[in-house]
Amino acid sequence: METLIEYQQNVVDGVGNDFHRFLYNRLPWESRMLSIKGLRGAGKTTMLLQHLKYGQPEGTKSLYVTADHPWLYTHTLLETAKLWVQNGGRALYIDEVHKYVNWSRELKNIYDGFPGLQVFFTASSALDIYRGESDLSRRVLTFTLPGMSFREYLNLVYGQALHPVSLTELLNNPTEIPAVIRKQIETPIPLFREYLVKGYLPFVRDDQKSYLTRLVQVIEASITNDLAFIENYSATHVVKIKKLLGVIAESAPFEPNISSLARKLNLGRDTVNNFLYHLERAFLLNLVNRPSEGVAALQKPDKVYLENANFSHALKEHPDRGTTRETFFLNQLRNAGHEIHLAEKGDFLVDRTYTFEVGGRSKSIKQIAGISNAYIVSDDIEIGFGNKIPLWLFGFLY
């Protein structure tokens, strides 16, 4: 196992402890088996390595392995776990487990066969952990790591120590909370503009100049490698799903006509619908529906957005500003764990309770007049008042 230990040492040496993604301190690291899913580049690997290096009790023997490491050409994960336990190992960290063909069966056997071994693994956001051939539902706890919030961007890039606020706090204190934040960042709006273009993934700190190029590579790899492998796409399907994403990027928010798309792509309606939901599971799209129950909730999405505002800038030279506002709002609310639908009046209905109309500085209350628990979300304002709330402030929800 010397090869794996040497590899681990090389990757761990470069890992610092100065910044943690918001999910790090929320995870039950004491669990026997823990899974972290998420978009490529969101920081899953760094979280594993930070916990291995800094989070384990002193003396715990831990091993890190990537699922595509050459060691696994001639050894199975199960054999690796057995050898590690025999050498006194207490924790096994597996990166990108979806790249290992028999991941589900072998993880189950590791869990059942080595009760004294903790297993932590990362996977593509497109992977359905519970859909594998072996039953992991009673064994693994799964968490999803989205891209960074505006708050995390400020903490990472500008060395701030800003704390999240809940949606309730935000709605109840639209003047006080921004005033407190502005004691640390005097002018949030220019920094918010930066974030919308290139602030969603942590590699921005090290690679600002080519950030959007790398973002395109993330999208490409998510489709060509992760989705194609997990969903067993043919090369033809990969080309068509890229075309579908291109159509959406040009016209998002996109109200899909499934029949029209199916004809253009020479695909069946069900295949197009499946592509949309696969792209959402891969954290490349956000699909939104009006509130509905039962079978109606399983039909085609009512509106399609790119998953985050950075994608808008990576895939389109001059994205519409109104679109990026809505994309940001939807993204941050969803990432913070809120339920969000299209509203009958206004733009979005959150937690089936709050109605939000998203717009610029001069946005009026006309669209939400007479609606209870309704708010205007305004871009280009620093401080809110009454039911008018700054758009950037929703970047502090997680």
Digit-by-digit pLDDT tens for the chain (398 residues) are 899 999 999 999 999 999 999 999 999 999 999 999 999 999 999 999 999 999 999 989 999 999 999 999 999 999 999 999 999 999 999 999 999 988 999 999 999 999 999 999 999 887 877 665 567 888 999 999 999 999 999 999 999 999 999 999 999 999 999 999 999 998 999 999 999 999 999 999 988 899 999 999 999 999 998 888 888 888 999 999 999 999 899 888 888 899 999 998 899 999 999 999 999 999 999 999 999 765 555 578 999 999 999 999 999 999 999 999 999 999 999 999 999 999 999 999 999 999 999 999 988 888 899 999 999 999 999 999 999 999 999 999 99
Residue 181: predicted pLDDT: 97
The confidence score (pLDDT) of residue 84 equals: 98
CATH assignment of 2-145, given 2.170.150.20, 3.40.50.300, 3.40.50.620, 3.40.50.2020? 3.40.50.300
Q: What is the pLDDT of residue 124?
A: 86
CB count in 10 Å sphere of residue 156: 19
Half-sphere exposure of 302 (CA within 13 A, CB side): 14
Backbone φ and ψ of 151, nearest 5°: -60, -45
Model confidence, pTM: 0.92
Rounded Cα distance, 387 and 397, in Å:
18
- Distance between CA 165 and CA 170 in Å, rounded? 7
**182 within 8 A of 382, measured Cβ to Cβ:** yes
At 367 the pLDDT is: 86
Picking from 218, 252, 223, 258, the residue whose alpha carbon sits closest to that of residue 239 is 223
Of 332, 385, 353, the closest CA to residue 165 belongs to 332
* Domain boundary assignment for the chain: 2-145, 151-396
Listing from the earlier edge strand, what are the strands of the sheet with 141-145? 62-66, 91-95, 118-124, 33-38, 141-145
Query: b/e for 229-247, b at 16 or more Cβ within 10 A?
Result: ebbebeeebbebbeebbeb
Q: Interior CA angle at 113 toward 108 and 116, to 5°?
A: 110
pLDDT at residue number 366:
86
Q: Determine the Cα–Cα distance for residues 393 and 167; give it in Å rounded to an integer.
A: 10
Which residue type does 91 have? A
What is the dihedral angle through the alpha carbons of 66, 71, 73, 78, rounded to the nearest 10 degrees? -80
Q: What angle do CA 53, 219, 227 make, to 5 degrees?
A: 85
User: How big, in percent rounded to 5, are the helix, strand and coil portions of the chain?
Assistant: 45, 15, 40
What's the chain's Rg over C-alpha atoms? Answer: 22
For tokens 């039962």, name the residue: 294
Measuring CA to CA, which residue among 25, 8, 26 is closest to residue 92?
Answer: 8
Residue 340 pairs in a beta bridge with 350
Residue 351 contacts by C-beta under 8 Å, 6 or more apart in sequence?
Answer: 167, 338, 339, 340
